[in-house]
Chain A
Amino acid sequence: METIKLTIDNKEIDVPKGTTIYKAAKELGIDIPTLCYMELHDMNIENKPAGCRICVAEVSGRRTLAPTCSTKCEPGMVVKTHTPRVLNARRTVMEFILSDHPKDCLVCSKSGTCELQAMAHRLGIKDIPGAEYAAVSTYRKDTSPSIIRDLDKCIMCRRCEMMCNEVQTVGAISAVNRGFMATVAPAFEQNLEYSTCTYCGQCVSVCPTGALTEVNHVPQVLRALVDPTKTVVVQTAPAVRAALGEEFGLAPGTLVTGKMTAALRALGFDYVFDTDFAADLTIMEEGTELLDRLSRHLKGDKTAKMPILTSCCPGWVNFFEEYFPDLKDVPSTAKSPQQMFGAIAKTYFADKIGINRKDMVVVSIMPCLAKKYECQRNEFSVDGNPDVDFSISTRELASFIKQANIDLNTLHDEDFDAPLGESTGAGVIFGTTGGVIEAACRTAYELYTGKKLKRLEFTELRGMEGVRSATIDFDGLPLNIGIAHGLGNARKLLDDVRAGKSQFHAIEVMACPGGCIGGGGQPLHHGNSEIIMARAAAIYTEDRKKPLRKSHENPFIIKLYNEFLGKPGSEKAHHLLHTHYFDKKKKIIIKK
């Protein structure tokens, strides 16, 4: 490969041709400040609109300062990244950005994790000259079921636009207008609710300011906890335990399952359960559906649709309802683990403890923002009483724990409550890309072949590539598996299914890059993809530590079927654990 030699801050470096100054400096350990640039290199995600102009530097032979994020290295270039001229320019740019920014930092939901606030601190900005003359552009606040847009705080870094359009191919938002009124918005500046938004929350997870944040449900949860008439049940998704520790200063990838359980109990939840239990249940239902469709398909039954698509991910469900409504009978009808949990908690478990479902409040802790929308879907409630009342994100839980003055780090590990807290390793790996289908294979293989699996870990299904495929030998039957994470990758597989070209028997889709561990409700990664990799590793560690690692061996699942549901796919199971999908494609109105 052709390399280029250049000098940055008096240090020489060789870099491959095409490397930007920003990346070359990073290799030298020089941290150039930036607000809009962001890269997740393991996932092939990069945002470099050269919009914020904070990353400028002096480059020999160039009259003006160069934005380092988008300027390529040239042979013999001499770059200076922190000269007085550069510092002065950065300060001026920053003052301009701040002059049109609201000053409600005290109560802004991003306070403390805001990149703009951190940058003002880093650049030593103590006052904003001329702020009283500058326009503070004003927009209305837009609250959807999952996401709040407060665009007075938008600095036009356009990371959200890149995530929504290039990575997710959802296209719900775009840069609109110009000058002071420039911002990022859905078409016709309608509310997000009326756009094609899937609520995946990837825009929120990259927003540097308080322009895009989640709807905060902690106050409602708090009210339920102080209400003596309510029994409050909590469930925690697998990806939460692999990331919550980051909010308390622990290294990424530190598992805090036991401490999280202890914290939830200390917060006053009456029963601390695990969504992983419901993940095991999902495998029983989805696995049974897969085997049923597969055997009918092998017998030549044309009504047996192939491939089967996973349906755990609410962002993904929203995506295919909007873009592929013609394929809405292809995904599995199994509800997501969150909703299966709610349905079982408010029937089986409410009966067990002898209370009415109206007196039970089910709270879920999710790495996800789309889960907030999912639990509000009409089909997931009985007489107006939702199966899951509130869904709060990993970030909201961390804030809640801090509010209650609980020091997560010093808590002793505690176990989940029985019976809805018991899970296998298969339930745990639901939290990362490839995990759902691996869990399904562990159970489906044994049910299909009647033989014990020799090798539990399907490493061929793991990894971070956007689209993966593998063929698993089901005792002579080659089962073709496809995996996609990130909705843009899912679209590629779906286009093949629509065209009738798909060779897969089963496809797993997760809306967020990396799967739930990279979800829109997780602690902010601030562009560091190593954090997401560490969380994935933690999930697989938790799986290895579990005594039981196959869903169908979970004794509480076996008991649930014996006592209540009958068998997987039974009428009762269908009523409680399965759902159907809708055509949500926006129609163009044509005059008759």
Chain B
Amino acid sequence: MSHIKIELRKEDVDFIKGVCATFNNDPQELINVLHTCQEHFGYLPAEVQEVVSDGLNMPVAKIYGVVTFYSFFTMTPKGKHPISICLGTACYVRGAEKVLDEFKKELGIQVGESTKDNKFSLSSLRCVGACGLAPVVLVGDKTYGRVAPDDVKNILKEYEN
């Protein structure tokens, strides 16, 4: 029940229908359709899934099943500055979990959630290929290496304005 009730504009509906049409309205192309929609909207709210269901002529329950199965898809909008903490093996053994806990505490949100002002969102990922810098944190496109829990406040400060 985590979905946010939004109303779609007509051009949004047309966009989704258009995406479905590009993929020949074929239910087998569901994942591709969802990828394109998430790229466009930033997330996949229930309403978008309902229009996809119409466009591909398949039950919305099945679509929701796929959205909740793959961690790539999200039903909550990402914040203006999406924060990702690497929990891959190297980062994990060098204390990434403590860094994550600090972010949770500072922002008052859990993984998969966004702050009320929609400024930050928090997610975890597995290995960004920079294990030499472990533990690694990404904020938007910027990478922070060797992050300690004490650094968290300073990192967030950079995005104050």
Contacts and interface: CB of A to CB of B under 8 A. Distances in A.
Contact of A187 (B8, B10, B51, B64): B64
Contacts of B10: 590-591
Contacts of B50: 586, 588
A177 interface: yes
A588 B51 CA distance: 7
A196 B9 contact: no
A171 B61 contact: yes
Interface string B16-53: 00000000000000000000000000000011011100
B143 interface: no
Interface residue SS majority, chain A: loop
A174 B61 contact: yes
Contact of A591 (B1, B9, B63, B68): B9
A586 to B, nearest CB: 8
A187 B7 contact: no
A171 B69 CA distance: 18
Contacts of B65: 174-176
Contacts of A591: 7-10
B59 A589 contact: no
B46 A187 contact: yes
B69 A177 contact: yes
Contacts of A174: 59, 61-62, 64-65
A281 B17 CA distance: 48
B61 A173 contact: yes
B13 interface: yes
Interface in A304-343: none
Contacts of A188: 1, 3, 46, 49, 64
B59 A165 contact: yes
A195 interface: yes
A113 to B, nearest CB: 27
Interface in A575-592: 586, 588-591
A186 B69 CA distance: 14
Contact of A590 (B9, B60, B61): B9
Contacts of A122: none
Interface in A182-197: 185-190, 195-196
Nearest to A591: B7
Nearest to B50: A588
B61 A172 contact: yes
A178 interface: yes
Nearest to A186: B61
A588 B54 CA distance: 9
A174 B59 CA distance: 9
A171 B58 CA distance: 8
Nearest to A588: B50
B68 A178 contact: yes
Contacts of B59: 165, 170-172, 174, 187, 196
B61 A589 contact: no
A176 B8 contact: no
A533 to B, nearest CB: 31
A588 B61 contact: no
Contacts of B68: 176-178
A590 B63 contact: no
A186 B64 CA distance: 8
A588 B13 contact: yes
Name the residue among A172, A177, A586, A588 with the largest chain B CB count within 10 angstroms: A588
A196 B59 CA distance: 9
14 contacts: A172-B59, A173-B61, A176-B61, A176-B69, A178-B69, A185-B61, A187-B63, A187-B64, A188-B3, A196-B59, A588-B8, A588-B51, A588-B54, A590-B8
Interface of B: 1, 3, 7-10, 13, 46-47, 49-51, 54, 58-65, 68-69
Given A174-B61, A176-B68, 20 more contacts: A165-B59, A171-B59, A171-B62, A174-B59, A175-B65, A175-B69, A177-B69, A185-B61, A186-B61, A187-B46, A187-B59, A187-B63, A187-B64, A195-B61, A588-B8, A588-B54, A589-B7, A589-B8, A590-B10, A591-B10
